[in-house]
Amino acid sequence: MKDTGTTSVEREALHSQIEKLNRSPILHGSESLCKLLKYLGEHSLDAPGTSLKEYQIATEVFGRPADFDSRVDSTVRVQTGRLRSKLAEYYVGEGAPDRLVIEIPKGAYSLTYHMRPPMETPAPPVAHGTSPTAPPERSYPLSWFLISVANGVAVAVVAAIVATRFMAPVPAAMREQPAPAIKAFWSVFASGPDAPLVVYSNAEFVGRPETGLRYFNPVLDNGKQIRDHYTGVGEVMAVHDLDQVFASLKHDIHIKRGRLLTWDDAKASNLIFIGSPSENLSLRELPGTQDFVFSRKASAPRKGDLMIANLHPAASEQAAYLASEGIITEDYALIALTSVPNASRQVLILAGITTFGTQAAVEYVCRAPRLDELIAKLAKLDPSARRRVPPFEGLLRVKVSGGVPVQSDLLSLHVHARGTESPN
């Protein structure tokens, strides 16, 4: 074991807290997140204040091969983000009374922990006629904490050094300059005074969460109460990614769920749609795409399943793309830049057949290496793309593992003439 100055008590306290977290309902059953938490915990004790490399985590925690490439496999970023969110959820809920708090700083693959200050106890009442005497002021260095263990009437108190060596969370998106590809792709949405409107999906459901929800069927469910306040995990992660990108560009975004979007909104703002027309219902009323469209399969097998139809397939392209059946291991997603007719407003559609494809589509346009790839391919079809991104439709094939998109490949890219309006 490395000699890092870490005491055995400190190690025991951190190990105990990690085990408690892994047994909690927040993480119980998520083997990958539990494994990642333990790995980051050991690193924080052996090399405090340092951040791990994405490659190291990918190969040693998630079993990725030696040729792992973070540009095409986002497993580490996604899983670290999920774990960060789970820890925050735990400490505002079940873990609210816990003294030892574990966090993952944004912008780093590392773990930090600190002690919450002890709860203040109210001062005892002062007897009438006596002068209140203030108790001697006591200060506790940040680096010390107390662990009290009661056994019958015996109490043992142990003190140890913990938190001074650990770095504070860093708002990386606000500190770092965005990459040129990020600036180039997002310039039309982040250059004007108005904030673009991010419209996320909220499909229509019937039923109740405790007894079972299902998609609303207008034939079977006429007159039933519609519940339209749910969205997918991919959409949640997508909003987070977009928020990070626009923070790096020092530009605001406004967020609205699909069913609340109005035509006045569409005419007044640039729009970023998250989710397909099957769940982002407002897309059915606004301009769509010319080549790749979402539709239901009309014939067996898999009649009625959502698919992406290719209306003008080129050589080597399929006419239709469907996600895998059962447990999703493969999905397809659309990235399309178009415009609102007669309004001079841009529309970006980021949508998968499932919520995992939607998440992958947003990740693709929020990562500089992937945007470099996209812009280079657009430039081969339209040389002016390096100055301004033209209207286009791109199809992604997405590999999914454990409910997380881990790899996205650009299968097809269709570029349209500038000024071409999409059909309604």
Instruction: Tell me: pLDDT of 395 over 90.
Output: yes
Class of 8-115 in CATH? mainly alpha
**155 pLDDT above the threshold of 80:** no
Angle between helical axes of 8-23 and 31-46 (0-180°, round to 10): 170
Q: What is each CA distance from 295 to 154, 243, 269, 353, 416, in whole angstroms? A: 70, 30, 27, 10, 21
Which DSSP state fits 27?
T
Question: What mean pLDDT do residues 44-52 have?
Answer: 80
> Can you give the pLDDT at residue 7?
63
Span 84-105, pLDDT tens digits: 888 988 888 888 888 889 999 8
pLDDT at 343: 56
**Span 313-330, average pLDDT:** 92
Question: What's the whole-number mean pLDDT along residues 300-326?
Answer: 92
Helix, strand, or coil (residue 32)? helix
For residue 285, pLDDT over 90 is answered with no
Q: Which of 14-23, 119-128, 151-160, 214-223 shows the lowest per-residue confidence on average (mean pLDDT)?
A: 151-160
d(CA 366, CA 142): 38
CA Rg, the chain, in Å?
Answer: 26
So what's the pLDDT on residue 121? 47
The Cα 300–Cα 303 span in angstroms is 5
pLDDT at 135 over 60: no
pLDDT exceeds cutoff 50 at 83: yes
Region 378-393 average pLDDT:
89
Residue 286: which pLDDT band, with cuts at 50, 70 and 90?
A: low
CB 423 within 8 A of CB 290: yes
Question: Exposed (0-12), middle (13-18) or buried (19+): which is 179, by Cβ within 10 Å?
Answer: middle
pLDDT of residue 112 exceeding 50, the answer is yes
Q: Give me the mean pLDDT over the 163-181 stretch.
A: 52
Query: How much is the mean pLDDT over the chain?
Result: 79
User: Is pLDDT at 169 greater than 70 in this prediction?
Assistant: no
Tally of CB atoms within 10 A around 7: 15
From 168-177, 212-221, 266-275, the region with the lowest mean pLDDT: 168-177
What is the per-residue pLDDT for 408?
95
Paired with 346 in beta bridges are 339
Indicate whether 259 pLDDT > 90: no
Label the pairing between strands 144-151 and 154-161. Answer: antiparallel
Strands 320-321 and 330-340, bridge-based pairing: unpaired
* For range 367-376, the mean pLDDT: 93
Instruction: Give the pLDDT mean for 63-69.
Output: 88
pLDDT at position 160 is 28
Q: For residue 186, what pLDDT is reported?
A: 96
Evaluate if residue 250 carries a pLDDT over 60. Answer: yes
Question: Is a pLDDT exceeding 90 seen at residue 139?
Answer: no
Give the pLDDT score at 341.
Answer: 64
Q: Exposed/middle/buried for 156, CB within 10 Å: 0-12, 13-18, 19+?
A: exposed
Q: Is the dihedral of CA 226, 232, 236, 239 positive or negative?
A: negative
pLDDT, one tens digit per residue, over 216-237 is 777 788 888 888 777 888 898 9
Bridge-based pairing state of the strands 330-340 and 345-352: antiparallel
pLDDT of residue 329: 94
Domain residue ranges in the chain: 8-115, 172-415
Enter the DSSP assignment of 384: G
- Is the model's pLDDT at 337 over the cut of 70? yes
Cα–Cα distance, 377 to 374 (Å, whole number): 5
- Is there a contact between 412 and 310 (Cβ–Cβ < 8 Å)? yes
